Structure 1
Amino acid sequence: MRLYAQTPGRRSRQMVADLVAVVLIAAAVKFALAVHHAIMLLAEPGRKAQSAGDTLASGLGDAGDAASKVPFVGDSLRKPLRSAAEAGTGLSDAGQSLQSTVGHVAMLTTVALIVFSVVLVLLLWLPPRLLWIRRSSATRRLLDAPGGADLLALRVLAGPQRALSAVPVPPGGLADAWRRGDQVVIADLSKVALRRTGLRG
């Protein structure tokens, strides 16, 4: 199985197409990562809320512990401070939840962008490459089969006439020479068929 053509022009086009496909996929991945970074910036308020909530809960918890040591009114002072500390914990949990949600959205968006871009590039690039590989393999097998050169020559004769411009025309014409089994003409025509596919004889 041949991955690239043997003729310079077609091989160059195939290599350029492969390079473009790789560059497009790399650009899509880079763009998706940039989008991920941009979305993750939205989690900054959540980080600040979590930090503020943790600090508030810790400070009010310590204050409640200290207030509980005040004689006679310690328990009365401790309860509202503990309630405020729980509110700080709630603020911290809300900030953490926001960060988690933003992280999930960023990850799903990034994966979706990468998958969509890669699939789109593959749909545009891969079928022509696979078609050429299949066609070139079939042409090479046909040439190697008994009578294959005759069939390739017949394909050229039945195809566009401009392809015949490089073949010397014998007396009586190319079709007559093919019918007579002229091996030189058949070889020349089969080389044209190979060149059209991007192969060399």
Structure 2
Amino acid sequence: MLLYAQTPARRNRQILADLIAVLLIAAAVWFALTVHGAIMQLAEPGRKVESSGESLANALDEAGDTASDVPLVGDLLRKPFQSAADAGTGLADAGQSLQDVVSQVATLATLALIILPVALILLLWLPLRVRWILRSATMRRLLDAPGGADLLALRALTGPPRALSTIPNPPGGLADAWRRGDRQVIADLSEIALRRAGLKP
């Protein structure tokens, strides 16, 4: 099975199309990762809030522990510090929630920016490549099959007439020579059909 045409012009076009597709996919991935990094910068305030909340909660916990050592009223003094420490923990949780939301948005945006362009590129490029590969394999099998050259010659006759001008026109015309089974005309026509598909005989 051939992945690329055997004729230089078509092979060069196929290689160029493949390179463009790969470069576009790489550019889409790079752009998506750049956007992901930019969105993740929005999580920085959340990290600062979380860090401040944890520091505040720890400091108030330590102050509450110290206050609880006061005889008789230690437990009463500790309660306000514990409440304030809980508020600091809530602040840290809010900072973490903000980071989670930003991370989810960044992930979704990255996936969308990768999947949509890559799917579009693959839909435009891959079917053409696969169709050519399958068609070239079919034409090679047809050429090797009994009577295959006749069918390829008929394909050339029904194609664009400009390509037919490259071979000598026998008396009665190419179609008449094909019907008579002229082996040289059939070989020339089948070669035209193969070259049109990017194959060499």
Instruction: Give the TM-score of the pair, scaled to structure 2.
Output: 0.95
Aligned to 2:32: 32
Which letter maps to 2:141? R
Instruction: Give the drift of 1:182.
Output: 1.4
Aligned to 2:61: 61
The Cα offsets for residues 4-51 of structure 1, whole Å up to 9 and x where unpaired, read as 100001000100111111111111111111111111111111100110
Q: Distance in 2 between matches of 1:65 and 1:154?
A: 96
Instruction: Give the drift of 1:134.
Output: 1.6
Q: Distance in 2 between matches of 1:68 and 1:172?
A: 116
Q: Distance in 2 between matches of 1:63 and 1:19?
A: 65
The Cα offsets for residues 97-119 of structure 1, whole Å up to 9 and x where unpaired, read as 11112112211221222111211
What is the Cα-based RMSD across aligned positions, in Å? Answer: 1.2
Further displaced range: 151-160 or 191-200: 151-160
Query: Secondary structure of the residue that 2:172 maps to in structure 1?
Result: coil
What is the correspondence of 1:1-201 to structure 2 with a 5 Å cutoff? 1-201=1-201
What number of residue pairs does the alignment pair up? 201
Q: Distance in 2 between matches of 1:58 and 1:2?
A: 68
Q: Distance in 1 between matches of 2:107 and 2:161?
A: 56
Instruction: Give the drift of 1:130.
Output: 1.2
Instruction: Give the drift of 1:193.
Output: 0.4
Query: Secondary structure of the residue that 1:70 maps to in structure 2?
Result: coil
The Cα offsets for residues 152-186 of structure 1, whole Å up to 9 and x where unpaired, read as 11221222211101111223322222222111111
Q: Distance in 2 between matches of 1:111 and 1:121?
A: 15
The Cα offsets for residues 99-157 of structure 1, whole Å up to 9 and x where unpaired, read as 11211221122122211121111001011111111211111111111111111112212
Q: Distance in 1 between matches of 2:17 and 2:58?
A: 60
Which letter maps to 2:19? L
Which letter maps to 1:2? L
Which stretches in structure 1 are left out of the alignment for 5+ residues? none
Q: Distance in 2 between matches of 1:69 and 1:152?
A: 100
Q: Distance in 2 between matches of 1:28 and 1:6?
A: 31
Q: Distance in 2 between matches of 1:5 and 1:196?
A: 10
The Cα offsets for residues 74-115 of structure 1, whole Å up to 9 and x where unpaired, read as 333221111111110110111111111211221122122211
Which letter maps to 1:82? Q
* TM superposition outliers: structure 1 runs of 4+ over 3 Å: none
Give identity over the alignment, percent: 70
Q: Distance in 1 between matches of 2:150 and 2:181?
A: 8
